[in-house]
């Protein structure tokens, strides 16, 4: 099973990946993406794209190495590079956003003269997760084949000096004299400390004049902030950095180190130099400190580089860090209940879920079970009598206690499936037995039908029938139905009348094609649809007219029964376990990426046959309806986290736009690399999905690079 779960506090792991020849750059038009689970093509303009969150991860460091520390692809511990130089390429912490490199600037990797034959990604987990959670965090590298006019590097200022206790202000300094012949052009910087850090800055001194490189509060998102002042560092210049710490509440010295009880004093200076020149730091760009000019720095260093910055509560909230560094609640998805009955009502197969404000609405099948005897060969229901029991339960939940508020739907449904409640309180249902879609008004303890679409008990594929319609959702544009088990289409109905307005979809596994569209929901903004394309094992994001946007898929699963979205997270659950992947997990993807971020499973017993998944309106609870034979279950989970923004696509911006280094230089093709983890088996696996260009990409590609599987036991 791919995915990593930290086993202890301050757990360090690393993943190694051979570096292809290329340049990490945003100067590309088209690129091929390599993730561990699939292949895809995109248009994009960014250099480093993190897939991580401070709830789960303390920091990520990406190194370029001649050789990795170990020959295997995954290892535990703090080792990164082996023999040869160590190059820092990228660092992430505290919910920093993606890093877009300037035009005409890129990192050279995979070439004979750059010393970077491997990528090694080190991840620091502050503490173990709560519940059964597996992490898939990583960094996506966008690469071009064409050499840019300027090559980038990162110079790290780092100190090993301990912090004395009982002081409101302690300055830890680092100085180095630059003796290279090649001019350095800093264009971005990043700071990093643990909880005691208050300000980190760096300056350089040229011909008696001190010039700021950057200054930042390390408790803010630890992004690479752009430098807009065009500084130039030349031979003989003194480079200096200082970290301000607050140790007033400490009674012993705090050592520098990698653990949560330690501190760090790091300033990362990202710079470029003329690509026609020699590498100014062939053995790696690190400033450990130079005592020869330390006194000069102490006497002259600008005071503004040590002064506290104005408070930014928005940034401090966004950057909240997980425990072992001052917080106590570990991230996790905690199982709160596995209900086979509620309020004395034994649950039948839980087919659909929706919400009435904060109350849960359950759509179950009571005593009727869908099995091989339910339909004939023509998809006609064998038992043409409606279910006599109430199949809709409106349930209030307090803690892990449930209470039935209302029971509805007796003698109205044949084989319940999908359900949705809109803001006005109307219910929309699909009945796979009746082959109909209906809108209902709640009237006391009964349902009044507003309209019904389809011909009851008669399946077909024309414009007046449905055939086993599955999912349903209502948007401002109308009612959308995943139709479903027989018809590979999504049908749009008028919400007021139930009349058909539009339909899209064809059988197949290409964009906007389906192999049993089983569930449909809307994105957080309501502008797009997410369709659980069940037997294609994916979730497709589509416009309301059926235009393909992107998909979430993985070799971790071969089927997806249901999906939902909350904020920037896309939840998806398979309904059947695969022989290769083991027990069923709920997978959480990142909106806008098509990538899987983490996964969770129950701890009391495995899922049986999950059928529907919904996330509560506040995003804190996840409900899964399980139709396992003889053990129909409503699962309830709670997201456990420190709070703060769960969105990594928020509108947080750099403090200045990156400037262009010089004339644009773009290549016709590119590469994208992603790094992720494995817990039992680590495999660098690429599966090329059959898919045509989406509506966002109209292009033919002259080169596609494939990689071979290489699995390693851990």
The structural domains of the chain, with segments of one domain joined by +, span 1-149+668-690, 156-264+288-319, 333-640
pLDDT at 684: 30
237: confidence class by pLDDT, cuts 50, 70, 90: very high
CA distance linking residue 523 with residue 309, whole number of Å: 38
Whose CA is closest to 187, among 294, 107, 122?
107
CA distance linking residue 644 with residue 599, whole number of Å: 20
359-380: average pLDDT? 97
Q: Identify the residue whose tokens are 């400490």.
A: 250
- Per residue in 443-464, pLDDT (tens digit) is 999 999 999 999 999 999 999 9
Please say if the pLDDT value at position 670 is more than 70. no
58 appears as a binding residue in the annotation: yes
Q: Which of 201-210, 226-235, 323-332, 679-688 has the lowest mean pLDDT?
A: 679-688
For β-strands 586-590 and 401-408, DSSP reports them as unpaired
Whether 104 contacts 662, CB under 8 Å: yes
194 appears as a binding residue in the annotation: yes
Whether 165 contacts 251, CB under 8 Å: yes
pLDDT at 437: 99
pLDDT at 677: 42
CA distance linking residue 628 with residue 331, whole number of Å: 29
Q: Which of 57-66, 530-539, 636-645 has the lowest mean pLDDT?
A: 636-645
518 appears as a binding residue in the annotation: yes
* Angle made by CA atoms 473, 475, 476, in degrees to the nearest 5: 160
Whether 575 contacts 606, CB under 8 Å: no
638 appears as a binding residue in the annotation: no
Whether 27 contacts 667, CB under 8 Å: yes
pLDDT at 163: 96
Whether 39 contacts 687, CB under 8 Å: yes
pLDDT at 666: 36
pLDDT at 42: 36
Whether 139 contacts 119, CB under 8 Å: no
Q: Provide the residue count of the chain.
A: 714
Whether 199 contacts 188, CB under 8 Å: no
DSSP assignment, residue 369? -
Same fold, 1-149+668-690 and 333-640: no
Share of the chain above pLDDT 70, in %: 85
Please say if the pLDDT value at position 436 is more than 90. yes
533-542: average pLDDT? 98
Whose CA is closest to 72, among 686, 673, 713, 707?
713
pLDDT at 642: 63
Whether 470 contacts 518, CB under 8 Å: yes
CA distance linking residue 93 with residue 55, whole number of Å: 11
Please say if the pLDDT value at position 680 is more than 80. no
281-308: average pLDDT? 91
353 appears as a binding residue in the annotation: yes
Structure-model confidence comparison of residues 488 and 50, the more confident one: 488
192 appears as a binding residue in the annotation: yes
CA distance linking residue 139 with residue 62, whole number of Å: 8
574: confidence class by pLDDT, cuts 50, 70, 90: very high
Whether 509 contacts 496, CB under 8 Å: no
Structure-model confidence comparison of residues 128 and 31, the more confident one: 128
pLDDT at 109: 93
Q: Identify the residue whose tokens are 């599987």.
A: 709
Q: Return the CATH architecture of domain 1-149+668-690.
A: Sandwich (2.60)
Q: Which two tokens stand for residue 580?
A: 């290769």
Q: What share of the chain is helix, strand, coil (3-state, %, to 5)?
A: 5, 45, 55
312 appears as a binding residue in the annotation: no
Phi, psi (5° rounding) for residue 187? -130, -10
Whose CA is closest to 558, among 675, 470, 689?
689
Whose CA is closest to 125, among 77, 57, 193?
57
Whether 179 contacts 63, CB under 8 Å: no
265-287: average pLDDT? 93
Strands (E), 425-487: 427-431, 436-443, 446-453, 472-475, 478-483
CA distance linking residue 374 with residue 386, whole number of Å: 13
92: confidence class by pLDDT, cuts 50, 70, 90: confident
425-452: average pLDDT? 98
Please say if the pLDDT value at position 619 is more than 90. yes
Q: Which of 134-143, 312-321, 544-553, 663-672 has the lowest mean pLDDT?
A: 663-672
- Cα 296 to chain centroid distance, Å, stands at 46
Cα dist from 532 to 515, 522, 559, 634, whole Å: 10, 11, 9, 20
264 appears as a binding residue in the annotation: yes
pLDDT at 400: 83
pLDDT at 605: 97
Please say if the pLDDT value at position 433 is more than 90. yes
Please say if the pLDDT value at position 697 is more than 50. no
pLDDT at 312: 80
Q: Identify the residue whose tokens are 């979730």.
A: 539
Structure-model confidence comparison of residues 526 and 255, the more confident one: 255
Question: Residue 186: how many CA atoms within 13 Å on its side-chain side?
Answer: 26
Range list of H helices, 206-345: 294-300, 313-318
417 appears as a binding residue in the annotation: yes
Whose CA is closest to 73, among 684, 580, 555?
684
Exposure string of 175-207, with b = 16+ CB inside 10 Å and e = fewer, is: bbbbebeebbbbbbbbbbbbebbbbbbbbbbbe
DSSP assignment, residue 311? P
Whether 541 contacts 526, CB under 8 Å: no
pLDDT at 144: 86
Please say if the pLDDT value at position 698 is more than 50. no
pLDDT at 314: 62
CA distance linking residue 264 with residue 267, whole number of Å: 10
First to last CA, the chain: 11
What SS3 string covers 27-45? CECCEEEECCCCEEEECCC
377 appears as a binding residue in the annotation: no
pLDDT at 214: 97
611 appears as a binding residue in the annotation: yes
207-234: average pLDDT? 93
Q: Reduced to 3 states, what is the DSSP secondary structure of residue 565?
A: strand
Q: What is the mean pLDDT of the chain?
A: 85
| Domain 333-640 homologous superfamily, CATH | TolB, C-terminal domain (2.120.10.30)
pLDDT at 36: 34
59 appears as a binding residue in the annotation: yes
Look up the CATH number of domain 156-264+288-319.
2.60.120.230
Share of the chain above pLDDT 90, in %: 70
Please say if the pLDDT value at position 701 is more than 50. no
Please say if the pLDDT value at position 633 is more than 50. yes
Whose CA is closest to 27, among 101, 83, 110?
101
427-431, 574-578, 701-705: which is most confident: 427-431
216 appears as a binding residue in the annotation: no
Provide the sign of the torsion angle of the four alpha carbons 67, 224, 592, 127, taken in this order.
positive
């Amino acid at each position: 099973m791919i995915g990593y779960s930290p086993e202890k506090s301050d757990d360090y792991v690393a993943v190694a990946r051979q570096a292809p020849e290329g340049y990490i750059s945003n100067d590309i038009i088209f690129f091929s993406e390599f993730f561990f689970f699939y292949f895809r093509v995109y248009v994009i303009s960014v250099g480093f794209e993190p897939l991580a969150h401070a709830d789960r991860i303390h920091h990520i460091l990406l190194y370029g190495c001649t050789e990795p520390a170990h020959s295997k692809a995954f290892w535990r511990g703090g080792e990164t590079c082996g023999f040869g130089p160590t190059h820092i390429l990228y660092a992430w912490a505290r919910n920093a956003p993606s890093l877009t490199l300037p035009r005409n600037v890129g990192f050279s990797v995979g070439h004979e003269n750059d010393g970077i034959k491997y990528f090694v990604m080190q991840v620091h987990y502050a503490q173990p997760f709560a519940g059964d959670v597996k992490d898939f965090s990583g960094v996506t590298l966008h690469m071009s084949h064409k050499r840019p006019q300027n090559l980038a590097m990162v110079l790290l200022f780092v100190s090993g000096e301990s912090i004395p206790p009982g002081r409101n202000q302690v300055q830890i300094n680092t100085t180095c004299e630059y003796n290279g012949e090649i001019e350095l052009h800093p264009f971005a910087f990043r700071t990093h400390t643990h909880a005691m850090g208050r300000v980190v800055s760096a300056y350089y001194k040229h011909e008696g004049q001190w010039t700021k490189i950057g200054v930042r509060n390390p408790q803010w998102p630890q992004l690479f902030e752009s430098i807009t002042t065009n500084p130039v560092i030349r031979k003989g210049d003194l480079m200096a950095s200082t970290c301000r710490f607050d140790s007033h509440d400490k009674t012993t010295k705090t050592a520098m180190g990698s653990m949560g009880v330690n501190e760090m004093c790091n300033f990362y200076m990202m710079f470029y130099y003329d690509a026609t020149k020699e590498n100014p730091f062939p053995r790696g760009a690190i400033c450990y400190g130079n005592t020869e000019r330390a006194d000069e720095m102490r006497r002259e260093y600008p005071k503004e580089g040590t002064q506290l910055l104005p408070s930014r509560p928005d940034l401090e909230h966004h950057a909240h860090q997980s425990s072992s560094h001052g917080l106590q609640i570990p991230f996790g998805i905690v199982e709160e209940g596995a209900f086979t009955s509620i309020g004395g009502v034994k649950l039948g197969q839980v087919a659909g879920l929706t919400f009435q404000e904060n109350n849960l609405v359950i759509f179950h099948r009571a005593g009727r079970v869908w099995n091989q005897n339910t339909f004939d060969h023509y998809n006609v229901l064998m038992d043409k009598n409606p279910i006599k029991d109430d199949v809709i339960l409106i349930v209030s939940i307090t803690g892990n206690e449930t209470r039935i508020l209302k029971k509805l739907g007796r003698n109205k449904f044949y084989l319940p499936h999908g359900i949705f409640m809109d803001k006005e309180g109307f219910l929309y249902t699909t009945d796979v037995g009746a082959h109909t879609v209906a809108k209902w008004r709640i009237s006391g303890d009964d349902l009044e039908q507003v309209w019904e679409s389809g011909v009851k008990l008669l399946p077909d594929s024309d414009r007046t029938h449905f055939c086993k319609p599955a999912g349903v959702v209502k948007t401002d544009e109308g009612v959308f139905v995943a139709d479903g088990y027989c018809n590979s289409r999504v049908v749009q109905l008028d919400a007021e009348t139930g009349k058909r307005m539009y339909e899209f979809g064809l059988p197949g596994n290409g964009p906007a094609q389906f192999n049993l569209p089983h569930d449909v929901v809307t994105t957080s903004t309501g502008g797009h649809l997410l369709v659980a394309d069940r037997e294609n094992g994916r979730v497709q994001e589509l416009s309301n007219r059926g235009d393909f946007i992107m998909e979430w898929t993985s070799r971790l699963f071969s089927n997806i029964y249901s999906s939902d979205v909350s904020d920037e997270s896309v939840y998806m659950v398979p309904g059947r376990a695969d022989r290769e992947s083991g027990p069923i997990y709920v997978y959480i993807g990142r909106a806008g990426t098509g990538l899987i971020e983490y996964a969770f499973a129950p701890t009391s017993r495995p899922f049986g046959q999950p059928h529907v998944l919904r996330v509560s309106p506040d995003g804190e609870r996840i409900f899964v309806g399980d139709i396992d034979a003889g053990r129909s279950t409503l699962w309830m989970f709670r997201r456990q986290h420190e709070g703060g923004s769960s969105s990594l696509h928020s509108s947080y911006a750099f403090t200045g736009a990156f400037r262009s280094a010089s004339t644009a230089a773009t290549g016709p093709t590119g590469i994208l690399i992603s790094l992720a983890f494995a817990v039992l088996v680590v495999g660098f696996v690429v599966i090329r999905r059959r898919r045509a260009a989406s509506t966002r990409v109209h292009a033919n590609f002259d080169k596609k690079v494939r990689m071979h599987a290489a699995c390693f036991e851990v």
